[in-house]
A and B are shown apart, each in its own frame.
Chain A
């Protein structure tokens, strides 16, 4: 969605700043997921700790974005595509912050897991993590480039992540039944897989909002009514 320039440059700069902040925030929250999984695979408690420490920054950025949105709404009274951009920003900032929270939760479980021997070589979880990373990438790209068809794909692919999670769950359940001593570690891995599945949900939310941003159509909750 290429736009002509705003006549009011101050307004244009505020919108640009908002988009920039969201971009930086999406990169940071994406990295928190990537690094928390890397900490798990590489058994690196220091990396896990680092991810946990980054949470404050994401929280601060959420407040900053909210504040900027309020400022733009109060001072510039956005309409049409600008208004949709503002509402989209207000919604996806929350998803980005929650993705960061998932990164922290995964990192905390990693710290706990590091205190125990490895349960088994990780196979499916890194595969799921890569799929989630791609989904995050696609949803952020869709937002940056106002790409509704990529956004719609993200929404559609969410069920694949759900499926991966169920597979991991089944495998770890079997593991727990076979060896009760594995329960504590298997539960933490299930928790991590569940976190990744939640990241997929947040990306799907972002995808839905991008469709709204570009087409003005609200496709949430299986509806497709025009806004």
Chain B
């Protein structure tokens, strides 16, 4: 895989009031790869994820220093269209949060709002192909009109992924997308992540280290707001270069 940088952060600091959540993060995340963010609670991994599509703008008292580039463009520049940024950088949360509407409308919603289809036929086509990309089509094709809330937890999470995919993003941010799911649903999400990285750049926060090891190409270990190590996943889990990483992943911590 040719290494081409999709997301670059330079000397990034993030504060919530007086509290420093991110401390001088300089990192490169590779295009069409999966980067896992690991670290103990409060280490900054979720903050790092959220600043990538400016979700932090919504939290009062947030202050950011440094630079974040996507494809070389500063996403905190004045000219940035934040709505368009969030379309390009989709987010999947820990708890699946489908809209209280039909399976079909959940996926079609973003397409309509963003004016991404010319007519209803085209919306049909996008809904189908997106549900297929999210490995959900076969399970829901006969009940597209049913409420999304009638789906199982694992199906709801894949529906949320489909909803994010429908607006043609470039990057998918996932915040513990499988932590509330059973092992089979988790395996489906992980398999999906593996498929999706061909077309998208994926950043995933997970507390499950084995999951990070399974799904990611590169792994970033955060501690107290610092990025301790960002390495090839196999390297990090067999021979990490930093002692702090070693202590954390082998469970010698705290």
Give min CB distance, B77 to chain A, whole Å. 40
Question: Is there an interface contact between B239 and A216, defined as CB atoms closer than 8 Å?
Answer: yes
Number of interface residues of B (CB under 8 A): 17
Number of interface residues of A (CB under 8 A): 19
CA distance A84 to B234 in the complex (A): 13
Chain B: interface secondary structure? Answer: helix
| A80 CB contacts on chain B under 8 angstroms | 237-240, 245-246, 249-250
Within the complex, which residue of B210, B238, B254 is in contact with A216, where a contact is CB–CB below 8 Å?
B238
CA distance A79 to B250 in the complex (A): 6
Question: Is there an interface contact between B238 and A8, defined as CB atoms closer than 8 Å?
Answer: no
CA distance A227 to B247 in the complex (A): 19
CB contact under 8 A between A78 and B210, given known A83-B238, A84-B239, A216-B238? no
Q: How many A-B residue pairs have CB under 8 A?
A: 46
Is B251 close to A, CB under 8 A?
yes
Among the interface residues A3, A6, A80, A227, which one has the most CB atoms of the partner chain B within 10 A?
Answer: A80
Is B209 close to A, CB under 8 A?
yes
Within the complex, which residue of B238, B240, B245, B252 is in contact with A6, where a contact is CB–CB below 8 Å?
B252
CA distance A157 to B249 in the complex (A): 36
Q: List 18 A-B contacts (CB under 8 A).
A: A3-B252, A4-B247, A4-B253, A5-B252, A6-B250, A6-B252, A7-B252, A11-B251, A79-B237, A79-B250, A80-B239, A80-B246, A80-B249, A83-B238, A84-B239, A226-B235, A226-B239, A227-B238
Binding site for A on B (CB under 8 A): 209-210, 213, 235, 237-240, 245-247, 249-254
Q: Which 9 A-B pairs have the closest CB atoms?
A: A216-B239, A4-B252, A79-B237, A82-B250, A79-B249, A7-B251, A80-B246, A80-B250, A6-B252
